A = this chain, B = another copy of it.
């Protein structure tokens, strides 16, 4: 994007990635991910999941999540962007807010640590790999966290 540094552009794209999930925008999500080539394919680890390889499987998983999510909200903290040539890694903590279970009232929250690896292509930066994993806190810490909301 004109007038933006690589880091500004990458952090805007990283936000757009989470916003695409929040708003159930599969077109935008598709646009953000790289196209597979012979040597290099899209890769994605959802928290608690094994690795998904290949654009088709990765986008199918996002479509599935979007279809099964009534509401989700991400607040990103600890965002850090580092470059090495045409590869960039954006790391962040996702504070994820979803509706509480059927027998509960309000919202449930969880922390996920993510590393998002982007590649510079002719069309701009694209997401090569998303790796998200649960931060397993002590239960009393999670409860203290919930009371603050």
- CB contacts under 8 Å to B, within A85-123, are 85-87, 89, 91, 93, 111, 113, 115, 117, 119
Complex Cα gap A93–B49 (Å) = 11
In the bound complex, residues from chain B placing their C-beta under 8 Å from that of A84 are 40, 85-87, 119, 128
Which of A80, A82, A93 has the largest count of B CB atoms less than 10 A from its CB? A82
A131 contacts B by Cβ under 8 Å: yes
- Interface: A47 (CB within 8 A): yes
How many A residues touch the partner, as a band?
A: 35 or more
Q: Does A48 sit at the interface, judged by CB under 8 A?
A: yes
Interface of A, secondary structure class, is strand
Report yes or no: A43 in contact with B87, Cβ–Cβ below 8 A. no
What separation, in Å, do the CA atoms of A51 and B94 have in the docked complex? 12
Knowing A45-B133, A115-B115, say if A82 contacts B51 (CB, 8 Å).
no
Name A's B-contacting residues (CB within 8 A).
39-41, 43, 45, 47-51, 53, 78, 80, 82-87, 89, 91, 93, 111, 113, 115, 117, 119, 128-129, 131-136
A–B complex contacts, Cβ < 8 Å, 10 sampled = A43-B89, A45-B113, A48-B136, A51-B91, A51-B115, A89-B117, A115-B131, A132-B133, A133-B134, A134-B134
